[in-house]
C-alpha cells in the first residue's frame, strides 16, 4: 500500500562556528560561559525570589499540616528544593518544594510507617530518580497518557480537599478520602464557629485578591494572594479567636532524622516506587509547563491569554528544559531532604508559574527563594506560630480544588479520553495513588483495544452500484460483520469498497480476498479505494497520489487520476479486482498484478473532442478543465479536509483572526505559503503581489493596497513580526532586468517601478552583495532576487507604524528566500534583517537543525494526517542563526558550508 514517508536527505556537515576572537556571534546561540563561573543575580531574579518565597512559606506549612508531618519538615523541603534542585535541575525557572501531588501518599506512609521511615523512603525514591535520570529515561515518563496523569493529580486534589475540609471545620482528617467523605455529616454536626469562619475568610481573600480593581488594586496585587490571605486570617484570628488552634513549631533540637526502614520489603518497595512515580511525573509535567510559560512570555503573550505579557527586553533567552538533568536534580534534592528530615520534593506548578510571571530570568531566583525560606525557618519561628491551622488548611484545600482543572477535563473529553480520566480519579480517591494509576492504565488499554476493534461497515446503493464503506481497522474481530455485509451484496454486481483505516490483519484480508475472487468470477467488478477516493496500492508511477489535507495542490494529483471521470464521482471510478494470492499490504497490493479493467464513459470513444485525452497506451484519460479542476478540488476539500478543520475554523470565526505574522511574498503560483511555513488557518496574515514589493511611504495613491495591509497588520492585528519572502526565478525580477528606460507605461510596469531601487542596490558599490551561505548567487538574476528582499525590508522600516513598533521592541523584521527548484528556504542574517548588519547573508535552514529556530508562531504538522490544531500552535523563538561571515579578505569567495 502506497504511503508518504518522511525521508531525511541532509547529510552535510555542520559548518564550524566563528571564533570568539572574531567578535562575531551567531544570533540566538547559547551565550558564552561567564568568565570565572561567577553566580550573577539580576534585579528581576531578586524580586521574583521574594514573590515566590512569600508564596512558599504558607504553602509549605499547609502541606505539612495536610500530611500530618512535622511542620519544620515543610520548610526544610522548600529550602532544599529551592537551593539544590534550583542549582542542579534542568529547568532554571522551575521552583521545587513540598509536593501537593504527594500529600495523600506521604500522609498514608506516615500513618503506616512513622515519620522517620517515611524520610528513608524519600531517600530511596531520590536515589531511583538519580538512576533514571542517568539512564536518560525522563522522556519515557511523559509517554503516560495525559488523561491518566491529569486524572491522578485531580484525584489527589479531591483527596486533599476532603481531608483539609475537616480541619477547616475544626476537626481532624481520617486516613482515606472515602472515610473523610463519609465522616463529613458527623463533622458538620459538631462544628465550632471559629475555625470555619477563619477558613472562609482565607478562601474569600484568595478568590478576591487577584481581582481587586483600580490603582489601589494593582498596587496591592503585587503581594501574593496566598500570603495576603494567611496574613489577614492570622490578624483577624488574633483579635476575634485567640483560642483557635495555631501552628506549633517544635524546637529544632527535637527534629527527627531518618532511620533504617522497618517493615515488609515488598510494601516498602511499593512505597518507594509510588513516591518515585508521583514526584517524577509532577516534576516533569511542571517542567514542560514552565517551558510553555517561558515561551509565551518570550513571545510577548501569556500562556493562557492572548494579551501581551510584561517582558524585559534585555532578559536573556531561557533554554528549554533538560528533563534528564531535571530528574537527577530532583533526585539529589529528595535524597538531601530525606536525610535532613524533610518532606518529599517535586517541581510545583503554582510556585513555578509565579516565578515566571514575576519576571525571573534564571535559576538565581529559585535558589534565592530557598535561601529566604531557610532564613525564615531560623528567624521567624515566633511569627509563624501565630498562623491558625484553619487558614493553612483552607489554603491547601483551594490548591486541591485547583488540581481538578476544567481545562484538562475539556481536553480529555474532546479527545474521547474522559472514561480513562474518570476511572483514574475514582481509583485514586477510593483505593490510593498507585492503585488509581494502575486502574487508569488498564482502562486506557481497554479503550485502545476497543477502538482498534471498533469497525463500522455501511452498504449503500448508488444507481445500481453498491458502495461498501469500512470505517476503522480490519481485524479478526470485524470478520463476522464484514462477511455478513459482503454476503448480502448481489453476485456479479459492481461494488466499490472504501477502506478508511491503516491496518488489516490476515483474517480480514483473506475474507476480502475470497469474496473478491468470487465476485469477479461471476462477472462483477470490484474497486478498493481509500477515504479520498483514490485506489489503494496504486502502481509505482502513482505513488505520489497520497497527499495531506493541508496540501491538495495539483502536482499531488489528488484529484487528477487517470481513468476517473470529470465529475470525480466514485460511481464511475476505475474498477480493480484483487489478484489471487496477493496480500494488499505487501508489495503492490490489490492492483499488484496489474489486472485493471477500465470503466470509462461512452464519451471516451470521441477522443479529444469528447473531452478525453488518449495517452500512449491507448487508455482514455479525462482532460480536466479549469472549472472541473476547481469543482473537484472543492469537493475534495469538503470530503477530506473540512471535517478536520471545521472546529478550528469555527473557533476562529467566533474569536476573530489573531495572526502573529505578516507574510509578504510574491504572487508566483509556485509559492505555497502554507506548505513552506507549515502553517494553517489563523497563523499568517499574507500579502501577495508581483515581485513581493513594498512601496515606500509617499508612493502614488494607486499603490496604497500594500501600505494599507501593513498598517492594518501592525496597528490593528498587532503582529509580532513581518517577513518579506522572495524566491528563485522571479518573473518580476526578470522583467526589471530586461526592461529599458523606454518601457511602455502599462499597469505592470507602473507597479514594477517600485523594484527599481533593488536593481540600483544590486549594481551599487555602496552596498554589500547579498549572498547565500556557503555559495555565491548562481547568476545576476538570483543576486537581484536576494537584493530585492533586503531592499524591501528597508522600505518597510520607512513606514511610520513599522518604525514605531520597531522602536518599542514589539516588532521584528525577517528576510526570506525560497529556492523553488531545490525546495530550500534561506533566512536573512539577524543583523541584516534588523538593518544593522554588515553582511547580507541568507543562511540555509536545515531539517531539524536546532540552531535554526524558525521565526513563525507555528510548529511542524508532524502528525500522520498533516494536521495538528492549526492556529493553535505554541510559540517558538525568533529567526535562524546567522550565516558564517564573509571572508575578511574581501575576495568574495566563501567556504561552502552546506549543500
Catalytic residues, by residue number, are 666, 668, 670, 727, 730
To the nearest 10 degrees (0 to 180), the angle between helices 71-80 and 323-339 is: 140
Residues 6+ apart with CB under 8 A from 570: 462, 467, 496, 498, 529, 533
Helix (H) / strand (E) containing 824:
strand 824-828
Question: Can you tell me which residue has the cell 518515585?
Answer: 276
Helix (H) / strand (E) containing 628:
helix 626-636
Around 694, how many Cα atoms within 13 Å sit in the side-chain half-sphere?
A: 29
The Cα–Cα gap between 897 and 675 comes to 26
| Backbone region of residue 307 per phi and psi (left: phi > 0; alpha: psi in -120 to 50; beta: other values) | beta
Look at residues 203, 202, 201, 173 and name the one whose alpha carbon lies nearest to residue 187. Answer: 173
Residues 6+ apart with CB under 8 A from 719: 659, 660, 661, 662, 685, 713, 811
Instruction: Kindly state the DSSP code that residue 438 receives in the 8-state scheme.
Output: H
Look at residues 541, 550, 576 and name the one whose alpha carbon lies nearest to residue 636. Answer: 550
The Cα–Cα gap between 397 and 870 comes to 37
Whether 883 and 842 have beta carbons less than 8 Å apart is answered as yes
The Cα–Cα gap between 233 and 614 comes to 88
The Cα–Cα gap between 371 and 354 comes to 17
The C-alpha cell at 84 is 539544590
Reduce the secondary structure of 508-573 to three states and give it as a string: HHHHHHHHHHHHHHCCCEEEEECCCCCECCCCHHHHHHCCCCCCCCHHHCCCCCCCCCCCCCHHHC
Residues 6+ apart with CB under 8 A from 673: 663, 665, 679, 684, 686, 725
Whether 423 and 152 have beta carbons less than 8 Å apart is answered as no
The C-alpha cell at 600 is 470509462
| Backbone region of residue 674 per phi and psi (left: phi > 0; alpha: psi in -120 to 50; beta: other values) | alpha
Greatest Cα-to-Cα distance within the chain, rounded to the nearest angstrom: 103
Q: How deeply is 855 buried, as exposed, middle or buried, from its count of CB atoms within 10 A (0-12, 13-18, 19+)?
A: buried
Q: Where in 164-232 does DSSP place strands (E)?
A: none
The Cα–Cα gap between 436 and 424 comes to 5
Whether 361 and 312 have beta carbons less than 8 Å apart is answered as yes
Whether 405 and 150 have beta carbons less than 8 Å apart is answered as yes
The phi and psi torsions of 729 (rounded to 5 degrees) equal: 65, 35
Look at residues 130, 151, 429, 410 and name the one whose alpha carbon lies nearest to residue 280. Answer: 130
The C-alpha cell at 565 is 471521470
To the nearest 10 degrees (0 to 180), the angle between helices 479-487 and 506-521 is: 10
The Cα–Cα gap between 632 and 624 comes to 10
Can you name the residues that pair with 346 across neighbouring β-strands? 97
Q: Specify the length of the chain in residues.
A: 899
The C-alpha cell at 359 is 519576571
CA dihedral 193, 195, 199, 200 (to 10 degrees): 0
Around 73, how many Cα atoms within 13 Å sit in the side-chain half-sphere?
A: 31
Amino acid at each position: 500500500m502506497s504511503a508518504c514517508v518522511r525521508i531525511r536527505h541532509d547529510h552535510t556537515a555542520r559548518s564550524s562556528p566563528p571564533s570568539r576572537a572574531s567578535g562575531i556571534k551567531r544570533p540566538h546561540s547559547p551565550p558564552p560561559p561567564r568568565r570565572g563561573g561567577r553566580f550573577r543575580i539580576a534585579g528581576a531574579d531578586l524580586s521574583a525570589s521574594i514573590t515566590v518565597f512569600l508564596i512558599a512559606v504558607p504553602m509549605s506549612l499547609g502541606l505539612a499540616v495536610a500530611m500530618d508531618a512535622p511542620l519544620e519538615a515543610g520548610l526544610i523541603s522548600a529550602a532544599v528544593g529551592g537551593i539544590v534542585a534550583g542549582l542542579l535541575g534542568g529547568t532554571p525557572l522551575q521552583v521545587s518544594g513540598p509536593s501537593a501531588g504527594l500529600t495523600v501518599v506521604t500522609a498514608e506512609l506516615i500513618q503506616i510507617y512513622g515519620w522517620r521511615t517515611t524520610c528513608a523512603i524519600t531517600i530511596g525514591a531520590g536515589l531511583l530518580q538519580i538512576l533514571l535520570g542517568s539512564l536518560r529515561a525522563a522522556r519515557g515518563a511523559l509517554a503516560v497518557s495525559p488523561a491518566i496523569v491529569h486524572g491522578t493529580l485531580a484525584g489527589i486534589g479531591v483527596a486533599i480537599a476532603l481531608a483539609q475540609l475537616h480541619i477547616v471545620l475544626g476537626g481532624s482528617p481520617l486516613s482515606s478520602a472515602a472515610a473523610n467523605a463519609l465522616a463529613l455529616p458527623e463533622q458538620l454536626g459538631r462544628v465550632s464557629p471559629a475555625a470555619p469562619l477563619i477558613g472562609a475568610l482565607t478562601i474569600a481573600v484568595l478568590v478576591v485578591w487577584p481581582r481587586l480593581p483600580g490603582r489601589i488594586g494593582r498596587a496591592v496585587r503585587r503581594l501574593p494572594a496566598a500570603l495576603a490571605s494567611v496574613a489577614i486570617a492570622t490578624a483577624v484570628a488574633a483579635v476575634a479567636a485567640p483560642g483557635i488552634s495555631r501552628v506549633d513549631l517544635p524546637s529544632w533540637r527535637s527534629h527527627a532524622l531518618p532511620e533504617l526502614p522497618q517493615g515488609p520489603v515488598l510494601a516498602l518497595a511499593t512505597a518507594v516506587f509510588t513516591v518515585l512515580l508521583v514526584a517524577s511525573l509532577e516534576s516533569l509535567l511542571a517542567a514542560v509547563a514552565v517551558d510553555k510559560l517561558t515561551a509565551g512570555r518570550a513571545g510577548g503573550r501569556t500562556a493562557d491569554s492572548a494579551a501581551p505579557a510584561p517582558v524585559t527586553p534585555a532578559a536573556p533567552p531561557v533554554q528549554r528544559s533538560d528533563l534528564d538533568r531535571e530528574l537527577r536534580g530532583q533526585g539529589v534534592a529528595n535524597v538531601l531532604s530525606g536525610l535532613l528530615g524533610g518532606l518529599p520534593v517535586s517541581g510545583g506548578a503554582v510556585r513555578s508559574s509565579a516565578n515566571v510571571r514575576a519576571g525571573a530570568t534564571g535559576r538565581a531566583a529559585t535558589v534565592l527563594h530557598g535561601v529566604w525560606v531557610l532564613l525564615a525557618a531560623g528567624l521567624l519561628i515566633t511569627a509563624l506560630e501565630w498562623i491558625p491551622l484553619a487558614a493553612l488548611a483552607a489554603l491547601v484545600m483551594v490548591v486541591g480544588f485547583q488540581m481538578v482543572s476544567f481545562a484538562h477535563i475539556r481536553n480529555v473529553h474532546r479527545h474521547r479520553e474522559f472514561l480513562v480520566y474518570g476511572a483514574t480519579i475514582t481509583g485514586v480517591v477510593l483505593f490510593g495513588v498507585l492503585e488509581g494509576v494502575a486502574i487508569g492504565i488498564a482502562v486506557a488499554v481497554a479503550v485502545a483495544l476497543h477502538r482498534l476493534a471498533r469497525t463500522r461497515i455501511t452498504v449503500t446503493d448508488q444507481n445500481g452500484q453498491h458502495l461498501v464503506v469500512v470505517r476503522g481497522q480490519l481485524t479478526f474481530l470485524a470478520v463476522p460483520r464484514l462477511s455478513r455485509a459482503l454476503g448480502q451484496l448481489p453476485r456479479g454486481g459492481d461494488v466499490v469498497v472504501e477502506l478508511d483505516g491503516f491496518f488489516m490483519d490476515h483474517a480480514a484480508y483473506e475474507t476480502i480476498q475470497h469474496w473478491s475472487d468470487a465476485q469477479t468470477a461471476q462477472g462483477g467488478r470490484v474497486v478498493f479505494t481509500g477515504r479520498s477516493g483514490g485506489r489503494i496500492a496504486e502502481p509505482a508511477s502513482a505513488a505520489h497520489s497520497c497527499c495531506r489535507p493541508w496540501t491538495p495542490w495539483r502536482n499531488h494529483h489528488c484529484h487528477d487520476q487517470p481513468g476517473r471521470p470529470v465529475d470525480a464521482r466514485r460511481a464511475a471510478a476505475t474498477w480493480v479486482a484483487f489478484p489471487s494470492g496477493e496480500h494488499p499490504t505487501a508489495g503492490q497490493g490489490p492492483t499488484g498484478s496489474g489486472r485493471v479493467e477500465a470503466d470509462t464513459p461512452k464519451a471516451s470513444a470521441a477522443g479529444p473532442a469528447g473531452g478525453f485525452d488518449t495517452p500512449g497506451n491507448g487508455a482514455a484519460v479525462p482532460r480536466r478543465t479549469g472549472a472541473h479542476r476547481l469543482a473537484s478540488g472543492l469537493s475534495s476539500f469538503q470530503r477530506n479536509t473540512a471535517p478536520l478543520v471545521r472546529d478550528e475554523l469555527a473557533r476562529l470565526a467566533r474569536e476573530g483572526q489573531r495572526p502573529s505574522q505578516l507574510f509578504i511574498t510574491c504572487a508566483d503560483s509556485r509559492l505555497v505559503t502554507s506548505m513552506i511555513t507549515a502553517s494553517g488557518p489563523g497563523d499568517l496574515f499574507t500579502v501577495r503581489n508581483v515581485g513581493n514589493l513594498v512601496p515606500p511611504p509617499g508612493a502614488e495613491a494607486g499603490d496604497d493596497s500594500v501600505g494599507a495591509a501593513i498598517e492594518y497588520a501592525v496597528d490593528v492585528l498587532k503582529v509580532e513580526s513581518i517577513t518579506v519572502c522572495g524566491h528563485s526565478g522571479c518573473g518580476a525580477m526578470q522583467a526589471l532586468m530586461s526592461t529599458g528606460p523606454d518601457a511602455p507605461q502599462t499597469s505592470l510596469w507602473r507597479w514594477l517601478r517600485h523594484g527599481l531601487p533593488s536593481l540600483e542596490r544590486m549594481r551599487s558599490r555602496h552596498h554589500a552583495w547579498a549572498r547565500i551561505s556557503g555559495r555565491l548567487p548562481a547568476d545576476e538574476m538570483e543576486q537581484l532576487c536576494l537584493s530585492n528582499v533586503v531592499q524591501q525590508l528597508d522600505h518597510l522600516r520607512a513606514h511610520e507604524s513599522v518604525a514605531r513598533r520597531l522602536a518599542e521592541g514589539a516588532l521584528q523584521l525577517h528576510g526570506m528566500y525560497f529556492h523553488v527548484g531545490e525546495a530550500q528556504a534561506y533566512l536573512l542574517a539577524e543583523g541584516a534583517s534588523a538593518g544593522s548588519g554588515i553582511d547580507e547573508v541568507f543562511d540555509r535552514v536545515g531539517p531539524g537543525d536546532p540552531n535554526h529556530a524558525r521565526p513563525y508562531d507555528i510548529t511542524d504538522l508532524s502528525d500522520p494526517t498533516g494536521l495538528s490544531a492549526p492556529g493553535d500552535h505554541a510559540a517558538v523563538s525568533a529567526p535562524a542563526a546567522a550565516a558564517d561571515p564573509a571572508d575578511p579578505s574581501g575576495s568574495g569567495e566563501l567556504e561552502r558550508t552546506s549543500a
